[in-house]
């Protein structure tokens, strides 16, 4: 039996009346370091029932889940999804092209890459422009749609794993703890050591001010 959260998210998608529903979301949008990870998940509601849907019982917005629950849901989504597509946008591309532009481009690419094509495409919050497949922007979509929530889980878990690997390469910054987001400890490390090779230098962060003046 699905939890209320899982039931609510799945019901939202089913009410669209489409069999193949795609959702896209990203992780790392507000991070000071590391990549932006964008994920797309295609769910086939024609066969997503009974034992196949039970692993999604606790599906929720990744921000509402503990790290342990996210890992469980990551494996559940891998087992239930018709297809998953992930794009990793490195810090350098974000600095060159801009965060928002990079995010929208990756979401467009993902929706085009999904096969079979989705009958309904849902995006967390943003319209993607006329070159994207027909889609619906859903405000707070990761709290409403199962497909978007599943994409948020895939993006978040993938990015956290990448940041833990970067922590081994750049141990002075504590990436394993804050996964690149601004914290007092992260800011202090940047002021003390300077930005690493994976910091987003286009971000107007106060911890960069001493570096710019140096």
| DSSP per residue, 128-141 | --TTSPS-EEETTG
Q: pLDDT tens digit string along 44-100?
A: 999 988 777 888 988 999 999 999 999 999 999 999 999 999 999 999 999 999 999
Q: pLDDT tens digit string along 154-200?
A: 999 999 999 999 999 999 999 999 999 999 999 999 999 999 999 99
Please state whether 17 falls in left (phi above 0), alpha (psi between -120 and 50) or beta: left
Q: What is the pTM of this model?
A: 0.93
Q: Which helix (H) or strand (E) holds 161?
A: helix 146-169
Q: Which of 77, 64, 88, 63 is nearest to 22 (CA)?
A: 77
Q: Which of 87, 88, 102, 127 is nearest to 202 (CA)?
A: 102
């Amino acid at each position: 039996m699905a939890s209320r959260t899982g039931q609510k998210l799945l019901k939202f998608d089913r009410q669209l009346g489409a069999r193949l529903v795609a959702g896209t979301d990203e992780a790392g949008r507000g991070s000071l370091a590391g990549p932006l990870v964008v994920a797309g998940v295609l769910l086939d509601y024609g066969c997503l029932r009974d034992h196949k849907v039970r692993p999604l019982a606790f599906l929720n917005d990744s921000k509402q889940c503990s790290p342990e629950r996210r890992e469980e849901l990551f494996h559940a989504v891998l087992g239930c999804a018709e297809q998953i597509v992930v794009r990793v946008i490195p810090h350098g591309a974000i600095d060159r092209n801009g965060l928002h532009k990079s995010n929208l481009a990756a979401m467009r690419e993902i929706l085009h890459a999904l096969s079979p094509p989705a009958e309904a495409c849902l995006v967390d919050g943003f319209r993607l422009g006329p070159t994207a497949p027909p889609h619906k922007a859903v405000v707070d979509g990761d709290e409403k749609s199962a497909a978007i929530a599943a994409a948020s889980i895939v993006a978040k878990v993938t990015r956290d794993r990448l940041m833990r690997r970067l922590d081994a390469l750049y141990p002075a910054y504590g990436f394993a703890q804050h996964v690149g987001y601004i914290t007092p400890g992260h800011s202090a490390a940047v002021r003390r050591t300077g930005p690493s090779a994976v910091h987003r230098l286009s971000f107007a962060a106060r911890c960069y001010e001493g570096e710019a003046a140096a």
